[in-house]
A and B are shown apart, each in its own frame.
Chain A
Amino acid sequence: MIKQEQHPILKTSNLAIGYASKKEDTIIASNINIELNQGELVGLIGANGVGKSTLLRTLTKVQDALHGNIFINNHNISDLSALHLSKVMSLVLTETMASKNLSVYELILLGRQPYTNWIGSFSKQDIEIANKAIQQVKITDLKEKKCFELSDGQLQKAMIARALAQDTDLIILDEPTTHLDMYHKAYILKLLQKLAKDTHKTILFSSHEIDLAIQLCDKLIVMTDNKVVYNTPKQLIKDGVFETLFPKDLITFDETTGSFRVKSD
């Protein structure tokens, strides 16, 4: 295969996010410049209320940017239709699906909806891609189960498979590890790492699992009150970014282990 010229899958230039109102704009974060390349696993971390969700909502075109631009595959997302966007970006949200009466297989096939005809018929190719997604996430044994029968961890895997079936260059996950136990948190993030490597998709997720993200991600977007930093975990540790993440009264960052420790009195 001819190697295509590398271009960023997701890129922002001088992006400012927040809420616009008639009187004045409430800027939550500004000057966000990130560049996500093909096959990268990128974590978005920051304290509660710092604007992670707002950033994801802006990147996924749920809300408008205050300033600056967002490009997916060199297309400005403000120019993309919902249907076009659905073929380049898939989502795993914190909310579960409305109907848990769906079977896992039905759920994953729904990821093919952007490619189907007016009545939503699935072609042979759609079914192949859905089955491949099921294999990649290793949930073949869950295929015929109903979603209300699944545990939180199984459900999350099914949602990831659905996003894979959508066959987009970029997958964005909003806190995919909430509600999960320690093992499944590590399992899901490890799975995302493997998927990014195997499928060459770019995966961006927000998370509070900072130590796991440091270990597994290619790059991290760290949001603090003052600024948004984007770099490799190693460089971020070297720059001491994690120390600025939280107030210093309770926990401190241990550079050698790459994790937070509760302060001893």
Chain B
Amino acid sequence: MHNSKSYKISFIILIVILLSCFFINISLGSVNIPLKDIVNSLFGGETSLKPWEHIVINYRLPKALTAIIVGSGLGISGLLMQTLFRNPLAGPFVLGISSGASLGVALVILGSGIFGGFTTLMLASKWSIIIAASLGSFLVLLAVLMVSLKVRDTMVLLIIGLMFASITASIVSILSYFGTAEQLQQYVFWGFGSLGNLAWDDLSVLFVIYILGIILSVFSIKSLNTLLLGENYAKSLGLNIKQSQLLIIITTSILAGVITAFTGPIAFIGLAIPHITRQVFNTANHKVLLPAVFLFGAIVMLICDSIAQLPTSDLTLPINAITAIVGAPVVVWLLIRKRSMMF
């Protein structure tokens, strides 16, 4: 729209920051690899030590790419939720999508002990976890959508999301009671969130579904902008409300669901990133916000991941802890500064 020139500069700056964060993220880790060797291994040159190339290509590079996918995907799904539910507090985490995914995963990992079957003695496979998490998040979003068609008050939706989180927590604790120690550990580790567990072939699956979600989100832009006026105005502008709602819900559940499935529930990114973005890009136009949220999400996630791996030490903190430590103060700061949250 107007003053698109100043946006262009902001976008260029953000892209430069993103690339810098990407390289910084790759160059940091438990093993200290000189920058020259990092560049060489990325661009197919010779590295001083053979293992270094392996670390960069097979561990750090997929992890950095996962961070970009997770940050941008969750940020965009948060943006979609905030506009759809006309609520600045909406996000994949708040509305219970992550709870749904957790429940699905808990049923698969822990439930195998109760329900028996051939997986009793085995730990749940990676793919069954991924499918369970996707299904769980999709079902919750569908439930939220159905409720949203019944009740006008969006506050009710948030409360229902919270209630769903409690139900999930209690079911999980019941399941844990019957689960074995190994199963329990597997579930808890999934709940920490992790960007580093994805090998190239996992990443390619995540990437394909993520791209599908991104394409769908681009197709939602017009509906999202129209929905800024509220449903009645949107309808008077010829928008098919039901169809748009469905498109946005499906887009969110694909993005948030698949990311949660692969990396575990990652808190606060979906809620905080759209608000940070609105501070910089002073517009409500989703054609600007969507790519901006994409960039901000990717940048913040790369930074969080860099912090999580505690440079120069062997320890890696759960990514979920870092995103909450970064995200929650941002939300508090926004609330105090603006005294209200907009979407």
Q: How far is the CA of A101 from the CA of B83 in the complex (A)?
A: 11
Distance in angstroms between the alpha carbons of A61 and B221 in the assembled complex: 26
User: How many Å from the CB of A7 to the closest CB on chain B?
Assistant: 23
Closest Cβ neighbor of B85 among chain A residues: A98
Q: Tell me the complex Cα distance, A119–B283, Å.
A: 17
- Kindly identify which residue among A84, A98, A122 contacts B228, using a CB–CB cutoff of 8 Å: A98
Would B236 and A89 count as touching, CB distance under 8 A? Answer: yes
The reply to whether B226 and A98 contact each other, CB–CB distance below 8 Å, is no
- The A76-106 residues at the B interface (CB cut-off 8 A) are 81-87, 89-91, 93, 95-103, 105-106
- Across-interface contacts of A91 in B (CB, < 8 A): 232-233, 236
Rounded to whole Å, the gap between the CB of B41 and the closest CB of chain A is 39
A-side contacts of B2, CB under 8 Å: 105
Which residues on A sit within 8 Å (CB–CB) of B283?
103, 106
Q: Is B238 an interface residue (CB 8 A)?
A: yes
State the CA gap A60–B238 with chains docked (Å).
12
Structural contact, B1 and A110, CB atoms closer than 8 A: no
A120 CB–B CB distance under 8 Å: yes
When each residue 84-105 of chain B gets 1 if its CB lies under 8 Å from chain A and 0 otherwise, what string results?
A: 0010000000000000000000
Q: Is the CB of B233 within 8 A of A93?
A: yes
Q: Report if B230 contacts A (CB, 8 A).
A: yes
Nearest neighbor of A120 in chain B, beta-carbon distance: B222
A69 to B229, CA, bound (A): 29
State A143–B124 Cα separation when bound (angstroms).
58
Q: Are B222 and A98 in contact (CB under 8 A)?
A: no
The CA of A99 and the CA of B228, in the complex, are separated in Å by 5
Of all chain A residues, the one with the shortest Cβ separation from B241 is A82
When C-beta atoms are compared, the residue in chain B nearest to A122 turns out to be: B1
Tell me the residues in window 1-18 of chain A with beta carbons closer than 8 Å to chain B beta carbons. none
Whole-angstrom CA separation of A105 from B221 in the bound complex: 18
A-side interface size class: 35 or more
Q: What B residues does A103 contact at CB under 8 A?
A: 283-284
User: Which A residues lie within 8 Å of B219 (CB)?
Assistant: 118-119
Q: Which among A87, A111, A119 has the highest number of chain B CB atoms within 10 Å?
A: A119
A residues in contact with B235, CB < 8 Å: 62, 82
Q: A85-B238, A98-B230 are in contact. Are A113 and B284 (CB under 8 A)?
A: no
Give B219's nearest chain A residue, CB to CB.
A118
Task: Assess the B1–A99 pair: CB atoms within 8 A.
Answer: no
Residues from chain B with Cβ under 8 Å of A81 in the complex: 238
- Among A82, A99, A102, A109, contact of B238 (Cβ-Cβ < 8 Å): A82
> How far is A60 from B222 in the complex, measured between Cα atoms in Å?
23
Query: Do A120 and B238 touch across chains, with their CB atoms under 8 A apart?
Result: no
Q: Which residues of A contact B228 (CB under 8 A)?
A: 97-99, 101-102, 110
Decide if B225 touches A101 in the complex (CB within 8 Å): no
Q: Which residues of B contact A19 (CB under 8 A)?
A: none
- 23 A-B residue pairs with Cβ-Cβ distance under 8 Å, sorted by A, are A60-B236, A62-B235, A82-B235, A82-B238, A82-B240, A93-B232, A93-B233, A95-B232, A98-B229, A99-B284, A102-B284, A103-B283, A103-B284, A106-B283, A107-B229, A109-B1, A110-B226, A110-B229, A110-B237, A113-B226, A119-B218, A119-B219, A120-B225
Residues of B within 8 A of A (CB): 1-2, 83, 86, 218-219, 221-222, 225-233, 235-240, 278, 283-285, 287, 342-343
Given contacts A60-B236, A99-B284, A99-B343, 11 further A-B contacts (CB under 8 A): A62-B232, A81-B238, A86-B236, A99-B342, A106-B283, A106-B285, A107-B229, A119-B221, A119-B287, A120-B221, A122-B1
